[in-house]
Structure 1
Amino acid sequence: MDAPAAVTAPAAAPVAKGAAAGRKSRLAAHLFTLGVLAAWAAWGASVESYQMPGPLAVAERLGLFFTDAHEIGHMFWSFGHIIAAVVISFFIGFALALLPWYLGATRRMMHGRLTPFLNSYPGIGWTMLAIIWFGVNDFTVVFVISMVLIPFAIINMREGLEALDPELLEMVRSFSRRRVRALLLLVLPALFPFMFATLRISFGVSWKVALTAELFGGNSGLGYMLNLARNDFDTPLIFGIILIIIAFVYSVERFVFDPVQKRLARHHAA
């Protein structure tokens, strides 16, 4: 009866070590968070409140934020700007990435001219041009975010197309008279991981662009509220908006993107 215990004990040791390492990692993360909060509170107590409000002042301002329907509305305007820009840039970028794949003569134009130009053009430049072209409105914000995200979509989808299985490509070519059908049935399923990666990258980058676009070229959204808070020296609101964005992006990454990525990894491993 002692033999099974002798066999299972060595196998249980790595599991116990892994659990202990996980506990230490979580403890270190919690201690780091507490240390940041303590340093923040100490700094806030040593300077004027408009320079560095403490955690309690920011928490109180956040409470006021979430009881004000007008301010909550600005938050949802930002969400709308982000969603619209991510969707628009994804479809435009995907279409532009497919163009050289179907029309080889456009490869140098797309990957040697247009993509490097879009990838290097600064977001603030698009913001200034969009204000001149379209004025200060929601379309300007969505346009700016989309123009910054499009090259990410082109590059990522291009990598996906170049990584396709040669046998799959040969099968697609055999459907030369039904290319759209071949694209839907053969190419798109193989590109799912790259499509997901494109959406994930675009979502993360879009928030960095959205605040600038809303700050200068928008009349709604969290970036617009940042501008109002700056003018009113409402520093707690500035910190509160930053915390809202951090919490939202972290939550989407943790509870939406991570599970989907794990499922895709299991599917392709199988």
Structure 2
Amino acid sequence: MTAAAAASSRLLRTQRGLALAFLLVLAVAWWATAGRVPAYVLPPPSEVGKALLTFVSSAQRLSHLFATLAHIGSAIGISFLLGAMLAFAAHYARWSAPAIHQRLNPFLSAFSGIGWTLLSVIWFGVSSYTVVFTIVVVLLPFALVNLREGLLALDAELHEMGNSFGRSRWRAWRLLVMPALLPFVAATLRIMFGVAWKVALTAELFGGGRGLGYVINIARQDYDTATLFAVILFIIIAVTLADRLLFGPLERYTARQFGSTP
């Protein structure tokens, strides 16, 4: 093992040790503080653990999880498709670029998720349409900006190779452009997945009749803080595992195989 590899290994062990120590300190502080305040303010870890087990073993509660996953999955698909269409339109039809990048994108980026949620409730009522629409409009700028960067990163040599296909523009796009964009696609999906959870919970809290945000809202109304903490803890674990086991490896694989990410 080289000196650089040994140093990297020591750094990795140190980082993992510090992360574990932080979690232990947080757990001890939580346990110590929970004994001094009412349970509805800060429930002890044992009560949250029981609520978490109840949550994952309840078919009714799990149906709310599947509802949130459906909201997030459909919204990511719609926003990515719309973002890709707009990015390609601005790149290949340059006359549309100012309207897309200088008008539409700043407008969508500046308006907050809570603002879109309130508007969606007025437009669609308390429904899944409200949740999905809110997530879509918040995620759309992420897809648009990242795919735009991917298209701008296509070098001149790649364009020359594409011209060698003659009139077969579809073949050039399929064999050259799409593989070069895959690292940006993977990075975009990773970002969108993380952001979508935050937006989905807010949208379901205010304008959803189903989903984990709705469960949090009911728990808040009932002062069931243990369930509220359990749902939050479940989301943190689920999102972290998805990022570590799915989106992170996918992004690294596409970066190795097809090029670097932004």
TM-score bracket for this pair, using the shorter chain length? over 0.9
Aligned position for 1:120: 110
Q: 1:243 aligns with which of 229, 233, 241?
A: 233
Of 143-152 and 182-191, the range deviating more from structure 2? 182-191
Deviations 1:151-208 (A, max 9, x none): 1100100111111011222344566744333322221111001111110110011011
Aligned position for 1:137: 127
1:254 aligns with 2:260: no
Shift of 1:19: 4.1
AA aligned opposite 1:66:
V
1:152 aligns with 2:132: no
How far apart, CA to CA, are the structure 1 residues paired with 2:259 and 2:32?
49
Aligned position for 2:205: 215
Shift of 1:124: 1.3
Q: 1:54 aligns with which of 44, 48, 57?
A: 44
Aligned position for 1:37: 27
How far apart, CA to CA, are the structure 1 residues paired with 2:9 and 2:90?
50
Contact 2:126 2:207 in 1 (8 A): yes
Aligned position for 1:193: 183
Q: 1:111 aligns with which of 93, 101, 110?
A: 101
How far apart, CA to CA, are the structure 2 residues paired with 1:217 and 1:178?
47
How far apart, CA to CA, are the structure 2 residues paired with 1:260 and 1:169?
26
How far apart, CA to CA, are the structure 2 residues paired with 1:168 and 1:122?
38
How far apart, CA to CA, are the structure 2 residues paired with 1:268 and 1:186?
10
How far apart, CA to CA, are the structure 2 residues paired with 1:254 and 1:38?
26
Shift of 1:13: 5.6
Distance of aligned partners of 1:88 and 1:28 in 2 relative to their CA distance in 1, 3 Å threshold: same
SS of 1:49's equivalent? coil
Any unmatched runs of 5+ in structure 2?
Answer: none
Contact 2:183 2:259 in 1 (8 A): no
Deviations 1:3-46 (A, max 9, x none): xxxxxxxx566555554444333322222111100000111111
Aligned residues: 260
TM-score, normalised to structure 1, is: 0.90
How far apart, CA to CA, are the structure 1 residues paired with 2:13 and 2:169?
53
How far apart, CA to CA, are the structure 2 residues paired with 1:269 and 1:116?
29
Distance of aligned partners of 1:151 and 1:269 in 2 relative to their CA distance in 1, 3 Å threshold: closer
C-alpha root-mean-square deviation of aligned residues, in Å?
A: 1.9
Q: 1:65 aligns with which of 55, 74, 81?
A: 55
Contact 2:121 2:130 in 1 (8 A): yes
Distance of aligned partners of 1:265 and 1:42 in 2 relative to their CA distance in 1, 3 Å threshold: same
Of 122-131 and 206-215, the range deviating more from structure 2? 122-131
Aligned position for 1:76: 66
SS of 1:115's equivalent? helix
1:263 aligns with 2:253: yes
SS of 2:231's equivalent? helix
Identity value in percent: 48
Q: 2:83 aligns with which of 93, 108, 114?
A: 93
